[in-house]
Amino acid sequence: MKQLIAFGIILCLLPLTLKAQKGYTINVTVYNYQESELTLAYYLGDKQYIKQTATKGANGSFVFKGDTALHCGLYMLVTKPNNDFIEFIVPADDQLFSISTDYNNMTETFKADGSAENKVFYDYLSFMRIIRAASDSLDKALEEDNTKAQLIETKRASLDKKLKQYRNSLYADHKEKTCVAIIKSSEDPELPEFTGTEQEVKNKQFYWYRQHFFDAVDFSSPCLFYSPVMLNRINSYMNDLTVQQADSINKSLDVIFAKAAASKENLKFLAIHYLNEYAKSQIVGFDACYVHIANKLYCSGKADWVDAEQLKKICDNAKKLEPILIGKKAPDFTMTDSENKKQKLSDIKADYLVMFFWDAKYGNRDKGASELIKVANKYKSNGVKILTLCANYEIELMDYSGIAEEIGFTGDNFINASILENSVEVKGLYDVKNLPSIYVLNKEQKIISKRISAEQVSQIIDYELNK
C-alpha cells in the first residue's frame, strides 16, 4: 500500500479535454472498508489532484459519475483515514466499469469488471511483483554466499530475458492500450556494445543513452502527463543527462519541445511547467531559460492558449531580462560620482567591476558593506574595483559621500556614485527589485554573475582568476 503524501485542491492548470465518449460511471466496492467516503484522484505531471469524493451507498458501494468524460490517464482511489490508495487506468474510450478490492490488500485483490485495460495493467503489475521478488531473492543469496556470484548472475540474466520477453509480447499485443504507453515511457533504452578505452566506452554509452532516452516514449499520447511517469522521465533527462548551465538546458528544452509538438496539449503542459519553473528559479543564470522559453514558444506566437494580457506580461518580462543575462554586456547608464561629476558605466576601467546597488540608509548600511570592503582589500592587486551605487532617492550626493567614507568605502578601488536623478530608470534597467543587489562584470563589462550575496563575490572572483 502506498501513502498519498498530499493532494492539493483541484487546480484548473490546463483545461485539457478529449473527444471521447460522453460521461463516466465507475462503481467501486472496497471490502472491509469501514469509512463512508472514498476519493477519486488523478495525476497531472508531478502533482495529484482530487476529482471527486463519493459517499457509500446503501449496497455498500461507491459510485463515481459525471456527464463529461475523464481525461485518460492513471487515477487513484484514496481511502480514509490514512490516504492509502490504489491506482488504475482510465482510458479515453472505456469509462463505464466496476472495481472491487479488499481494503486489507488493495493491490493484490484488485479486480475491474468491464475494463480490458485494467486487466492488462494488473496482469503486468502481478508479473512485476513476481520478477521483483525473484530479484530480491537473488540479491539475498549473493549477500549470504558471494562464491555463487557467477551462478546468481546467470539466473539474473535469465530473469532479465524473461522480463524482456514479457514486455515485448505486451507491447505487440496491446500497443493501443493506455497502460502500455505509460509503461513504455518508463523503459530505458538497451545499450549496444562499444569499443575503445574504458573512458571512451563510458563517453559513448552516455551520449548514446541520452540520444535514445525517449525512443520508447509516444509524445503524441494525450494520456502520459496524467501519470507521474512522463514528467519524471523528462525531469531525469533535464537534471541527470543535461549539464546544469543555461545554454545546455536550453538545448535540452528544444529537444523536448520538438518532440512534444506531436501533441498540442502536451506542448502546452511542458511550456507552462518549465516557464513557471525557471521564472521561480533562484539559481544564478537560469533566467536565461525563462527568456529562451518565452521567446521560442510565447512571443513567437505559438502559445495560443495564453490570453493577450498574460502574453504581454511574459514577453515584456523576457524583453526586460534579456539584456542583463549572464554573458551580456552590461547596459550603459549615467551616474554622478563623489566629486559631483557625471560619468558613464562604460567609462570605468577595471579587470573586474563589482556593482553594488544599495540603500545606504542608517539601518541598511551593513548589508554586505563590510564584506565588500574585505573584497576590495583582498583583490586590490588583481584589478578589482567596487562601484557603490546609492539607489535611495532620499539621500543627497553629499550625504552619500559622507556615508560611504564613514563606512570605509575608500581608496582607489572604490567608486562611490549616486543614481539619484535616474534611480527608477537604472533600477529598472538592471531589474533591481530588492536591495542590496550585486552584479559582477569582467574587463569587457560582460556580466559574469549577478544577484549574489556579498559573501559570494570572492568565490566568483577566485573562480575567474583561476580559470
CA-to-CA separations, 294 to 2, 90, 247, 277, 307, in angstroms, rounded: 38, 34, 15, 12, 14
pLDDT, averaged across the chain: 91
Give residue-wise pLDDT tens across range 234-245.
999 999 999 999
pLDDT of residue 366: 66
Torsion angle, CA of 44/50/55/60, rounded to 10 degrees? 30
Which residues fall within 8 angstroms of residue 227, CB to CB, at 6 or more apart? 43, 73, 74, 182
Give the chain's length. Answer: 467
- Residue 101's nearest CA partner among 31, 37, 35, 34 is 31
78-96, pLDDT tens digit by residue? 999 999 999 999 999 999 9
Alpha helices in 244-331 (DSSP H): 246-260, 264-280, 287-293, 308-321
Closest by CA position to 44, among listed 219, 309, 231, 283: 231
Does the pTM exceed 0.75? yes
Reference 30, options 71, 95, 72, 86; nearest CA is: 86
* 3-class secondary-structure state, position 154: helix
Mean pLDDT within 26-54? 97
Mean pLDDT across the stretch 420-433?
89
Average pLDDT of 9-14? 34
* The pLDDT of residue 6: 35
pLDDT at 393: 65
pLDDT exceeds 50 at position 18:
no
Task: Determine the average pLDDT of the residues in 157-166.
Answer: 93
Q: Are strands 24-31 and 62-66 parallel, antiparallel or unpaired?
A: antiparallel
Q: Amino acid identity of 284?
A: V
Rounded Cα gap, residues 319 and 441, in angstroms = 21
Beta carbons within 8 Å of 215's beta carbon, 6+ residues apart: 189
C-alpha pair distances (Å), 18 with each of 115, 116, 220, 388, 457: 19, 20, 13, 57, 52
72: left (phi over 0), alpha (psi -120 to 50) or beta: beta
Q: At CA 392, angle to CA 390 and CA 398, rounded to 5? A: 60
Question: In terms of Cα–Cα distance, which of 160, 172, 163 is closest to 124?
Answer: 163
Among 147-151, 176-180, 360-364, 413-417, the range scoring the smallest mean pLDDT is 360-364
Over residues 98-107, the pLDDT tens digits come to 999 999 999 9
CA distance 269 to 279: 15
What is the average per-residue pLDDT within 112-134?
95
Closest CA to 297 of 333, 268, 263, 328: 268
Q: What are phi and psi of 388, to 5 degrees?
A: -95, 130
Closest CA to 395 of 370, 432, 358, 426: 358
Q: Cα–Cα distance between 255 and 238 in angstroms, integer?
A: 10
Task: Write out the three cell numbers for 409.
Answer: 568605502
- CA 48 vs CA 40, 165, 255: distances in Å: 11, 33, 27
Task: Check residue 354 and give its pLDDT.
Answer: 97
pLDDT in tens, 288-326: 999 999 999 999 999 999 999 999 999 999 999 999 999
Tens of pLDDT, residues 382-406: 999 999 998 776 677 667 788 888 8
**Cβ 384 vs Cβ 375: under 8 Å:** yes
CB 97 within 8 A of CB 115: yes
